[in-house]
Amino acid sequence: MEIRARAPGKIILSGEHAVVHGATAVAASIDLYTLVLIRSSTSSGTDDGLLELQLKDMALVFSWPVQRIKETLPELGTALSPSSTSFLPESMKSIATLVEEQNIPEAKIGLFGGVSAFLLLYTSIQGFKPATVVISSDLPMGSGLGSSAAFCVALSAALLAYSGAVRLDVNNYGWLTLAELELELVNKWAFVGEKIIHGKPSGIDNTVSTFGNMIMFRLGELTRIKSNMPLRMLITNTKVGRNTKALVAGVSERASRHPDAMAAVFSAVDSISKELSTIIQSPASDELSITENEDKLEELLEMNQGLLQSMGVSHSSIEAVIRTTLKYKLASKLTGAGGGGCVLTLLPALLADAVVDKVIAELESCGFQCLITAIGGKGLEISSSCNSSTCHPSGEI
Ligand SMILES: Nc1ncnc2c1ncn2[C@@H]1O[C@H](COP(=O)(O)OP(=O)(O)O)[C@@H](O)[C@H]1O
Ligand SMILES: C[C@@](O)(CCOP(=O)(O)O)CC(=O)O
Ligand SMILES: [Mg+2]
């Protein structure tokens, strides 16, 4: 039997970092996915006693004899719950040993967190059974589009379905969504994985990846929201690599050095997110009200960017994108953890396609990479059968 699950990336419209410190944030899923496929080792022809992880996009394969995992992590491997003790520092040390043995190439050392999360989720949900897990993704890694969350959500869902904790209709081979309670279980496990990759995640990325659409998120609670205005966003990838864990830790350090000032910054972000969510949900049927709302949104994006800069997470490449889009009177802000990664630019509904083409051409001439993606779409989906050789993250078979 094969199980596959796919989960989308996300953009944060407002509130990244501040959301880790209790402020409201607004996020939407995007139609770029991470796909996880699990099959028993016997059906794949690989050695029965191995757990194999294939990272297709990077042409990397890691494998462990399950007996070795069992000896190293005896405390895992039973049907644990996401709130159980599976996260003990001792387990993390043992997981680090198992990952170190794989000799991840230095240039790809960022994968350490992802492979560690894989081992923890696999052994906690699935136990010590051999299998082959194949991962591929549309999402650029470490760019602010939530690849870590999409990875954790798709992996948790595939493992839960494979172990039978989440039931699938075996007669339905298409993509299925799960019931609310099952989505909540997946989301809790994905959060466990995000903790390994991010250190101190807010949970917004895994939540929007699991549930899809657009959400307002604060202190672990989501409120589903629906935009009443067309929201067209240009995403520019600066291609400057960075690491969410380090950036989140940097903001926390700044907050502990300047508690009052940073509390005021987080509180301002909270107000921006609330206002942004009110504006996008407010009825705007005619061109004039849409333009008025877009003007307000642009101001809020600029204010949010200013506050992100004061948190210390902007970057010269981000500033370069902002300066370029401003030449065309377009407002931009970083999205995700910053420090490089992706920048969002609001494309007003009445903006001529010729202008969009010009902005994109100018940004790409600086070496950046642009994309316009649908936002606020699907969340996690799962399917019980697939011919792995023809699987693609976007679901084409
Ligand atoms: N497809 C994947 N396979 C393995 N690890 C992944 C995958 N996608 C993401 N990761 C893990 O997540 C990390 C990137 O997460 P992060 O720094 O939070 O950036 P973002 O979530 O914005 O892409 C990677 O370095 C890796 O450890
Ligand atoms: C900075 C933060 O708000 C978002 C990080 O997103 P990403 O991993 O950069 O896609 C952290 C979090 O909320 O967990
Ligand atoms: Mg991430």
* Domain co-membership, 110 together with 178: yes
The CA 45 to ligand 2 mean position distance, Å, reads 39
Distance CA 380, CA 334 (A): 25
Mutational test site, ligand 1, from 141, 205, 237, 251, max ligand atoms within 8 Å of CB: 141
Q: What's the pLDDT tens digit per position in 131-143?
A: 999 999 999 999 9
110 inside domain: yes
- For ligand 2, is residue 338 a contact (CB within 6 Å)? no
ipTM score over 0.95, yes or no: yes
171 inside domain: yes
Distance CA 69, CA 123 (A): 8
pLDDT more than 70, % of the chain = 93
Atom of ligand 1 nearest to the CA of 144: 22
* Domain co-membership, 30 together with 150: yes
* Domain co-membership, 11 together with 50: yes
* Domain co-membership, 167 together with 263: no
CB atoms within 10 A of CB 127: 16
Whether 386 shows a pLDDT value over 60: the answer reads: no
Bridging pattern class, strands 233-237 and 369-372 = antiparallel
Asked whether the beta carbons of 243 and 186 are under 8 A apart, the reply is no
Query: Confidence band (pLDDT; 50, 70, 90) for 392?
Result: very low
Q: Which residue's CA lies nearest to atom 4 of ligand 1?
A: 114
Please provide the average confidence, as pLDDT, over all residues in the chain: 92
Distance CA 44, CA 50 (A): 11
* Domain co-membership, 261 together with 364: yes
Mean pLDDT of 64-68: 96
Bridging pattern class, strands 221-225 and 214-218 = antiparallel
Active-site hit among 47, 48, 205, 353: 205
320 inside domain: yes
The CA 114 to ligand 1 mean position distance, Å, reads 6
* Domain co-membership, 231 together with 310: yes
Residue 79, phi then psi, degrees to nearest 5: -65, 90
Query: Confidence band (pLDDT; 50, 70, 90) for 339?
Result: very high
The CA 138 to ligand 1 mean position distance, Å, reads 12
Atom of ligand 2 nearest to the CA of 18: 3
* Domain co-membership, 214 together with 185: yes
The set of residues, in sequence order, having a beta carbon less than 8 Å from that of 94 and lying 6+ positions away, is 72, 73
Distance CA 115, CA 92 (A): 12
302 inside domain: yes
* Domain co-membership, 216 together with 266: no
* Domain co-membership, 184 together with 309: no
Q: Provide the residue range defining the domain that includes 191.
A: 2-221+380-390
Q: Assign residue 171 the CATH number of its domain.
A: 3.30.230.10
Q: Which ligand is closest in space to the CA of residue 336?
A: 2
Q: What's the pLDDT tens digit per position in 233-289?
A: 999 999 999 999 999 999 999 999 999 999 999 999 999 999 999 999 998 778 888
Q: Assign residue 241 the CATH number of its domain.
A: 3.30.70.890
Atom of ligand 1 nearest to the CA of 113: 27
The pLDDT value given to residue 283: 86
Tokens, residue 88: 């003990």
Alpha helices in the chain (DSSP H): 41-44, 66-72, 89-100, 111-126, 147-163, 180-198, 204-211, 244-257, 259-281, 287-311, 316-327, 353-365
The CA 376 to ligand 3 mean position distance, Å, reads 18
281 inside domain: yes
Mutational test site, ligand 1, from 11, 121, 147, max ligand atoms within 8 Å of CB: 147
* Domain co-membership, 27 together with 154: yes
* Domain co-membership, 109 together with 252: no
* Global pTM value: 0.95
Q: What's the pLDDT tens digit per position in 145-172?
A: 999 999 999 999 999 999 988 887 666 6
Long-range contacts of 187-191 (CB under 8 A, 24+ apart): 187/153, 187/211, 188/82, 188/83, 189/82, 189/121, 189/124, 189/125, 189/152, 189/156, 189/159, 189/160, 190/149, 190/152, 190/153, 190/155, 190/156, 191/82, 191/152
Whether 390 shows a pLDDT value over 90: the answer reads: no
Q: Which ligand is closest in space to the CA of residue 191?
A: 2
Burial class (CB within 10 angstroms; exposed 0-12, middle 13-18, buried 19+) of 105: exposed
Q: Is 205 a catalytic residue?
A: yes
The CA 205 to ligand 2 mean position distance, Å, reads 7
* Domain co-membership, 160 together with 237: no
Query: Confidence band (pLDDT; 50, 70, 90) for 79?
Result: low
- For ligand 2, is residue 20 a contact (CB within 6 Å)? yes
How many domains does the structure of the chain reveal?
A: 2
Interior angle at CA 83, CA 133 and CA 251, nearest 5: 85
Query: Confidence band (pLDDT; 50, 70, 90) for 27?
Result: very high
395 inside domain: no
396 inside domain: no
Q: What's the pLDDT tens digit per position in 110-125?
A: 999 999 999 999 999 9
- For ligand 2, is residue 244 a contact (CB within 6 Å)? yes
